[in-house]
Amino acid sequence: IAAETADVHAIVRGFEKKREDDAAALEQQRQAVEAARAAAYHHEKAAEAAEILESKRSSRGKKLAFAGLPHTDHIKGIFSEDVVCIATDGNATITIYEHAAWAWTPGLPTALHNKLTGRQKTLPRPTIVALGSESRYYIAFADGQAVWHGPGEMASVLLDVALTSLHGGVRSVAFGEGFDTFFLVFNDGWWHAPGMPAGLGRLMESRKCRPDLKCVSLGPNGEWFLEAQNGRSWWG
């Protein structure tokens, strides 16, 4: 009887061991499936992020063409496809990158240079920068703060926008031929410009001054460029 009992116990233990092994194997399979699903999900998300990033880079442009600027080699060295904003006043050039870094060539306005030199990488990164003649500049940061040097009217408008969140904030800033000439474009498409080159003024009139702008650039000698939110652009 004892031998028979031992045999039964051995059989039971064998069944239990097989059941435990089967359960362990099933759990391993489940974990493997979950790991494969997670890997596929992360791969899909990474592919989507890469596609979105490539679309953004293509939209803003991945190549640079310029003429007549000093520090040519320096400019070429600091430009890459991950530049999100670039500005020049005809003397200095500054770039802002996707990865929260920035670079510039010699000749940056002293006040702006002092603001950026030694700025800790842990602080909110620059998002928008604009340069103009007579040491005019504008720079905004990811936390919504901005500093600038420019005409009084521009300062008044920018302060109103900052205090009231009017128009969803600033999208682009351009400085024109004279110290008091500037063009602000806001995130909702509205804009403010106390004066502008004649050709740009005629275009704005023909478009009935529609609040659908994406960005405007101005040059020191009456040059201008305008892009609307529908992707159309004009220049002169």
Strand order in the sheet with 102-104: 83-88, 93-97, 102-104
Question: Cβ distance 95 to 85 under 8 Å?
Answer: yes
Give the predicted TM-score (pTM) of the model: 0.79
pLDDT tens digits for 126-139? 999 999 999 999 99
What is the tens place of the pLDDT at every residue in 62-85? Answer: 888 888 899 999 999 999 899 999
pLDDT digits (tens, 9 = 90+) for 184-214: 999 999 999 998 999 999 999 999 999 999 9
Q: Are 162 and 146 in contact (CB under 8 A)?
A: yes
Asked if 226 and 203 count as a contact pair (C-beta separation under 8 A), the reply is yes
